[in-house]
Structure 1
Amino acid sequence: MQNPCRVALLIGGLLSASSAHATDSWVIFTGGETPNREAWVVDAQTLSDRSDLVGFLQRATPAEQNAYLKQLRRRKPPKPGEPVAGPEPVYEIQVNTIYENAIKPNRLIRKYWVNCSQNTVDMRMSLVQWRDRPMEDVPPERFEPRTEAIAPWQVQLVRFACLVGPDPKAKVPAEMMKRGFLSIGDVGLSPADFIWGDLWKDGKRPAFTYRPTDAEMDRTERSLEANLARGQKETTKALDESHRAANRVGRNNLIDLWIGKTEQEFVRTWGTPDRVEIGADGSRTLYLHRGERVQGLNVYGHVISDVNNRCDITVLTMDGYIRDYATQGAACAQQLR
């Protein structure tokens, strides 16, 4: 038998930051005239810090990428006047858009990344709850492009995230109201009930005519989880590549020849790795080293000589084939030839 609450529970379980589904909701903008009114509601409990590494790698110039990679290799703060680059901090927040018009969705449930310094919003997840058809899980390729916050609701979203993000104590209702934010507290799984019950009392709420089956809900749930996993995989891939590039000392012609060959062939030639790590995406990272670091000590235990002939090698494999590598150490040019 179909569970009538399952739609709300599915949405809440996959998009809400609170395991108990409690919310701290705020109306940030309303627009339109009846019967075409719209309302935008955010949940402050979903507001969290993020780092837009993927966006930085896509937009940065080669000089900015090199400066960022150099920073990753440094163990000390940058010197005065040294170029500083890297991903800018962003805030992730969940936004519900509720529609009065019966031919529009009941609501959109989306997550955005808000960049305060760039005044931009970037959609990261989108779910459409229709009244007359199944829920629609929007794939990433159909997301709205990253855009400057110009529309009134976007301006308010940036203001909310950038005002509350740095200081959770900033949510003083009287001060927030001066900026156009209305606190509606804990509205449970859907803010649409509050909007219709308290703001749109003069309107007639369209009825839900579609009732999904459990099988359809199972498919929706699997699709949502697959999109979440895909997004995490892309972020992890970019982060891994950034770390590999940061540790790479140039390129090595000898290891370059192994790109595209099998891991089995590589191990037969180079020997068993000192360590192997298996990634969440099924990749394997092989760690090897060549040479040694030898320190000479005097009778008091003080270092009187330090000869570092060690070269650390990191090899990334996917589906059994060599995809990339990194080397670290001043002796790599001598050890790998």
Structure 2
Amino acid sequence: MKGFSCSGQVILISGGSQGLGESFAKRFVQGENSGSSDDTNNKVIIVSRSESKLQKACERIGVDGISLEQYVQGKDQNKNGNENGACLVYHSCDISSYTSVEAMFALLRKSELIPTQVYMCAGGSIPKLFVDLTPEELQNGITMNYTTAVNLSHVSLKHNVPHLLFFSSEVAFFPFIGYSQYAPLKQSIRSLVSVLRQEHSDKRITCVYPGNFQSEGYDLENMTKPSITKEIEGPSHPVTAAECRDKIISSINWGLDEITTDSIGWILMACDQGFNKHNTKQFMFIFSWIIGAILNITVVPIYMLICKFQIYQWKKNKNT
């Protein structure tokens, strides 16, 4: 296992203007829930397309942020952190554009801010039936959830970043009705991670599969989510973004690189073992492999019949 530290790092966070990305930034700058002031001695760069959202995120984090352009020029570099020496930098960048990512890294190199950790938190879901999605929503699913991660990871590896953290989803293990705009791309992230681990064995590559957590994106999802999707998901009790974040950091500290944030995610991962999964680092791997094998023989076939019946009934009621 490559080492992990929350102190003295240069941390780049895409999707850093809200949700989980903002929560990571708050932990690494302010030490929220960390229990140690050492966790705040970091230079953190939050990235999003909207500069105004980034500035508002800095206000919520509680530190005066400085734009990357100003940092490069040497303006107020020592005045925008906290008493522990942390520094919060923000940069407006469309990471779905490869040239924009390259330009951002050129600024980072110029300011000696090449990241040691890159958190790829950018993404989002619009749960709808496939034919109800607009062409723009279909393209946004590809752009937000896959292209952003491909661009950022590719440039990061060219700049020799030692630790990449990808964010997939629990639906990568169990894609189902309503998630056609989202689940296939999150499965693609999982495939990309498998390939990169083979090509870059000298790097630490972590993949996180979060369950539901409270965020602006989660609230928007529920506004469009079909009733059948909610039925199959069952009742959801999302944790806070801070709770989700702390579980992820704790798992990374334990040396895990295949990370779920709740018991449902762990069970779904256990049921989805196969090629290229034997060398991953996940919680109780051997036990999960055994449990997954048993569940695939006993429970999964019955559960999928139940899902099939739920979808049949939903379609029947919809057409009456």
Pairwise TM-score range, normalised by the shorter structure: under 0.3
Q: Which has the higher helix share?
A: 2
TM-score, normalised via structure 1 length: 0.22
